[in-house]
Amino acid sequence: MTLKLLVGLGNPGPEYDATRHNAGFWWIDALARQHGAMLVPEKGFFGNAARLRIGGQQVWLLQPMTFMNRSGQAVAALARFYKIAPQEILVVHDELDLLPGQAKLKRGGSHAGHNGLKDIQAQLGSPDFWRLRLGIGHPGVKSEVVHWVLRKPPAAERDAIEAASERALQAVDELVTGQMEQAMRRIHGGKPDAPAARKLAPAATQPGES
């Protein structure tokens, strides 16, 4: 099955731009630049969105502007309007259980306490969407998690996150056209085919919270 909606999770606002929790935003920004697309506010979808062609398919890009814990409002609004099934959606998000430099692709499963995934699952009424998990590491203590995800990673960690993100960007055509096994092989292992030509710089948005 092909993908019709690619969602990057994060918190809107310049104070959150470079924080670990915004890894999904960084990825969608980079993908939009790669295709010469511009994310624009879509009030009906509670986020910034763009429509483009990838791998011969029409695809929506979406960054919810509802804050992380209400991400499902934006995802469900666009998915329902365009009759996009959960299994046709990819959600890109930060992952505590993976180290910086690691990325994993999976379909379905638990939200594992991630507030963005939790709300998307609740709003869609299904966990059966694809997830691209970008590793940000874990602080080691559960009580520090909120502070950890809302802080900027040091340069070495940011570089590692970008390298993993670049591998996933190089697998976009395979992802969109439903070649998931090939996409997994590219995303899960090895280095990018070429040095990252696209810095995953965050886009300016509006103030928010975790």
Sign of CA dihedral 64, 70, 72, 74: negative
Q: Per the residue annotation, which of 21, 35, 93, 188 is the catalytic one?
A: 21
Find, among 148, 156, 171, the residue nearest to 34 by Cα.
171
End-to-end CA distance of the chain: 32
22 is in an annotated binding site: no
CA distance 45 to 30: 21
16 is in an annotated binding site: yes
Asked about 138 being catalytic, the answer comes back as no
69 is in an annotated binding site: yes
Q: In this structure, which amino acid lies at residue 113?
A: G
Find, among 45, 27, 38, the residue nearest to 84 by Cα.
45
**Known binding residues:** 16, 67, 69, 115
**Known binding residues for tRNA:** 16, 67, 69, 115
Catalytic residue annotation: 21
